[in-house]
Structure 1
Amino acid sequence: MWLSRSVRVSLLPSIAKFPPFLPIHNSLFCSHSHPQTSLHDEAVSQFNRLLHQRHVPPIFEFGKILGFLVRVKRYPTAISLIQQMELKGIHNNFVNLSLLINCFCHLNQLPFAFSVFVKILKRGYHPNAITLNTLMRGLCDNGEVKEALNFHDKVVALGFRLNQFTYGILINGLSKIGETEAAIELLRKIQGPSTRPNMFLISAIIIIMVQYHKNLVSGMDKKYWFIPSYSDEDISQRYKLYKVTPKHTEQLKSIYKIFDDQDVGVWNT
């Protein structure tokens, strides 16, 4: 699905502060602090063979190598190779550009990540939830949680579809900066089958609020992973053993209520 020009234009002003994508020279990213593995060297060699063939191979052949490098966290190398493709006049597709965004986010190079996002929009590609989640996670990891929330509001208003991982990222980001109540409020607002509250989302809050989360789940049924219903007295008695403050107790009760309302249960295999 291609983005209409009006949608592309409406997104661009919100990220206009980021500079245009600039070629990144190899010297900026080639690190000698770790020895290159044989698999890494072979991947680079194979990439160079593809790059210098007389007839340019299909773009997905490059993508397979780039995907491998990203999986093994060789982000600087992947960026350098994508730069070489651009210099050779090979236009990267949506998949490769999304990999490039992932690399920049992991290296805390958010201006470059959003510059690539601008390039994706200008080429008319329709960003998916994975790409949008990567950008939001990059913002949250960099302490820019409010910017991540603003970006979320913008893409939702434009009709982009997000998923449970999106809200897990945002809730975790809010919790890390101490905005637990805002995280719970966001959790309450989640609607729809693709964003229904589940253990992935709730754990983002519980892990931050309760240092003793392992103790919390140890008493659950071994065959099922679920949040049971507790009375106010049950919750107070259960958590005072783990030195949870009254404020945390109230927040946890709120979480349990969301579980009860949604009838959430996850099979533990």
Structure 2
Amino acid sequence: MKAIGHKTCSLCSSSRLFSSSVQWISPLHYQSRNSPRPDAPIERDGTSEQVPRKHKYISHESAVNLIKQEKDARRALEIFNKVSDQKGFNHNNSTYAVLLHRLAVCKKFETVDAIIHQMKYETCKFHEGIFTNLMKHYSKSSLHEKVLEMFDAILPIVREKPSLNAISTCLNLLVEAKQIELAKEFLLNVQKHLDLKPNTCIFNILVKYHCRKGDVEAAFVVVEEMRKSRVSHPNLITYSTLMDGLCRCGRLQDALDLFEKMLAKDQIPPDALTYNILINAFYRAGKVDRARNIIGFMRKNGCQPNIVNYTALMNGFCKEGRVGDAKEVFHEMKGVGLKPDVVGYTTLINSFCRAGKVDEGIELLEEMKDKGCKADDVTIKIILGGLCRASRLSEAFDMLERLPYDGVHLSKESYRIVLNFLCKEGELEKAMDLLGLMLARRFVPHFATSNELIVQLCEAGKAADAALALFGLLEMSFKPEPRTWSMLIDVICRERKLLPAFQLLDELVLQ
């Protein structure tokens, strides 16, 4: 079948084929009629002609600064290679370190491997800091085997045994990522080949390792070894880790006993983080009023509660639906001079929205703006969900339309929340408007929602709108379910609009 017209039929061209009840705006030309447009970019003064300058020698320091300033990994590598062409120039630890950092930030890990291979043939002195930095980047990218590779590269390239700092960094990254088997394998290899003599830091990581496994008794064995050692002794981190492990196993009383032991036996004063472990444990156990008492206990013992402590307590009240108490804690926090952060605001906003008090949540959102605390996507999604549950869908739509002009970044999930509710409530005209806004901003609805919207439009007899929506989605590489295709073509044929049906069939063949 020969295609009629251009292959990628836009929403605008489709609108000429149908008489739609909705005035559709092409996603490629979508403009808000009510929202202000962003200011035009300011053009810098300059001339089209550049005065040629005499090339001068680039030092190691200058090369490092140039690579640091370059955000593009390819350009950073070009600078690295260009300066090496200078007569008498040899790269050193600093230039290699800054290049590898830039490549790792940009996730150009294949190039990182090639650079590390080249470093084996260099004669300059390297430091292990290059490799501990790369370990962190690989861990963030969940490439845990590569974390071990970076550790193993220290000895042949730095030409020295890895320090205790490198060992603890590698071990801690594996434990934090819950890569327990890799951590175990790493420990065995280190003990076998490097004659490991743990310091306090490594002992603490081992305590955390066992607590993450849920084996608190093994963690206590490590602490006993720690006491016998001549180079380490349990400190606040040790106790805090053990207390957290006990609380997570539901052994709250044992954690409190350990807290008393820390004060009485080792005379270690707790900090705000240690207290926070108990606050979280109490509210998880349904004893949020006892968690509140900890705030007063902290003050009496010379430890001022911080934002994290207050937020944890607010979260406890919110979990129990005690919005009034959560609000009271929020005002108490501000009363002692603490400035709420985005987590604190979002915790209370969520509590308001869940309790059906969306307006109070919106007031807090405005307060955040006035106080210079920028709302994140989590905050916005909570507000949108609250508006939708309150059937205030027009307000949710207006918020989606306006916020990007206020400098708020919206994720696709924010749009999807509102579109799902619009489809659920049968608000098809508003759903079509939101689809246009999403496509204009290069967001594609969820696969199931897209199909559901087209099906609902067909069932409502809005074949023209359904076709418009489908063509717009096709331009974003959306592939509908066969049932959706079939239903739309069936509706169009029943309306005796054969030309559009042929176009849809052509699109089906080309998908």
Q: Give the TM interval when normalised to the shorter protein.
A: 0.5 to 0.7
Residue 97 of structure 1 aligns to which amino acid in structure 2?
Y
Q: Which residue of 1 aligns with 2:89?
A: none
SS in 2 for 1:124: coil
Instruction: From the superposition, tell whether residues 139 and 49 of structure 1 become closer, same or farther in structure 2 (CA, over 3 Å).
Output: same
Matching of residue 131 in structure 1 with residue 344 in structure 2: yes
Q: Distance in 2 between matches of 1:266 and 1:250?
A: 16
Aligned to 2:383: 170
Tell me, yes or no, if structure 1 residue 86 matches structure 2 residue 261: no
Give the Å deviation of 1:183.
0.6
Percent of residue pairs bearing the same amino acid type: 14
Q: For the Cα contact (< 8 Å) 1:75–1:107, is it kept in 2?
A: no
Structure 1 residue 102, shift from structure 2 partner: 0.7
CA–CA distance in 1 between the matches of 2:438 and 2:362?
Answer: 24
Equivalent-residue separation in structure 2 for 1:192 and 1:79 (angstroms): 43
Partners of 2:446 and 2:395 in 1: CA distance: 28
Paired residue for 1:261? 440
Equivalent pair of 1:197/1:264 in contact (CA under 8 Å) = no
Please report how far the alpha carbon of residue 49 of structure 1 lies from its aligned counterpart in structure 2 after TM superposition. 3.1
Give CA-to-partner distance per residue, 1:153-172, whole Å, 9 cap, x none: 22212222111111111111
Name the CA shift for 1:130/1:85 in 2 (closer, same or farther; >3 Å): closer
Answer yes or no: is the 8 Å Cα contact 1:197–1:259 preserved in 2.
Answer: no
Task: Call closer, same or farther: CA 1:106–1:198 in 2, change over 3 Å.
Answer: same
| 1:208 to 2:208 alignment | no
1:82-121 deviation digits (Å, cap 9, x = unpaired):
4145246244222111100111112121221122112221
Deviations 1:188-242 (A, max 9, x none): 111269732322212321332334xxxxxxxxxxxxxxxxxxxxxxxxxxxxxxx
AA aligned opposite 2:293: Q
Equivalences for residues 135-150 of structure 1 within 5 A: 135-150=348-363
Q: Distance in 2 between matches of 1:189 and 1:102?
A: 30
**d(CA) in 2 for partners of 1:126 and 1:51?**
32
CA contact (8 A) 2:321 2:355 kept: yes
Q: Do the aligned partners of 2:353 and 2:383 also contact (CA within 8 Å) in 1?
A: yes
The equivalences for 1:58-77 within 5 A come to: 58-67=271-280, 69=281, 74=284, 76-77=286-287
Residues in 2 aligned to 1:263 and 1:64: alpha-carbon distance in whole angstroms: 43
Residues 1:42 and 2:251 aligned together: yes
Aligned-pair Cα RMSD in Å: 3.0
1:100 and 1:82 map into 2 onto residues whose CA distance is 7
Q: Would the aligned equivalents of 1:129 and 1:162 in 2 still touch at CA under 8 Å?
A: yes
What secondary structure sits across from 1:114 in the alignment?
helix
Whether the 8 Å CA contact 1:50–1:62 is kept in 2: the answer is no
1:13 paired residue number: none
Structure 1 residue runs of 5 or longer lacking an equivalent are 1-36, 212-243
Spell out, residue by residue over 1:119-144, the C-alpha distance to the aligned partner (whole angstroms, 9 max, x if none).
Answer: 22123222111111111110111111
**Distance of 1:194 and 1:42 partners within structure 2:** 46
User: What is the CA distance between 1:76 and its match in structure 2?
Assistant: 2.7
CA contact (8 A) 1:174 1:182 kept: yes
1:237 corresponds in structure 2 to none
1:231: which partner in 2? none
Three-state SS of the structure 1 residue aligned to 2:375 is coil
Amino acid at match of 2:306: N
Q: Is the 8 A contact 2:342 2:375 kept in 1?
A: yes
Following TM superposition, by how much is the alpha carbon of 1:267 offset from its aligned partner in structure 2, in angstroms?
A: 11
Provide structure 2 residue ranges, at least 5 long, that are not aligned to the other structure.
1-245, 448-511
Answer with 41-50 or 124-133: which moved more: 41-50
Is the 2:317–2:326 contact (alpha carbons within 8 Å) kept by the matching residues of 1? yes
CA 81–48 in structure 1, closer or farther in 2 if over 3 Å, else same: farther
Q: Structure 2: how far apart are the matches of 1:267 and 1:170?
A: 20
Give the AA of the match of 1:251. K
SS in 1 for 2:373: coil
- 2:323 aligns with 110
Structure possessing the higher radius of gyration over alpha carbons: 2
Distance 1:60 1:191, change over 3 A: same
Contact 1:79 1:103 in 2 (8 A): no
Q: Say whether the 8 Å CA contact 2:278–2:291 is kept in structure 1.
A: no
Q: How big is the shift at 1:51?
A: 4.9
Q: Does 1:197 align with 2:197?
A: no
The SS at the match of 2:258 is helix
Checking the alignment, whether the CA contact within 8 Å between 2:397 and 2:434 is kept in structure 1 is: yes
Name 1:251's counterpart in structure 2: 430
8 Å CA contact 2:310–2:329 kept in 1: the answer is yes
Gap change, CA 1:75 and 1:256, over 3 Å in 2:
farther
TM-score, L = length of structure 1: 0.62
**What's 2:190 paired with?**
none
The alpha-carbon deviation at position 50 of structure 1 amounts to: 1.5
**2:247 & 2:276 partners in 1: Cα distance?**
19
User: 1:175 is aligned with what amino acid?
Assistant: C
Is residue 188 of structure 1 aligned with residue 397 of structure 2? Answer: no
* 167-176 or 151-160: bigger deviation: 151-160
Q: Output the amino acid matched with 1:42.
A: R
Contact 1:164 1:194 in 2 (8 A): no
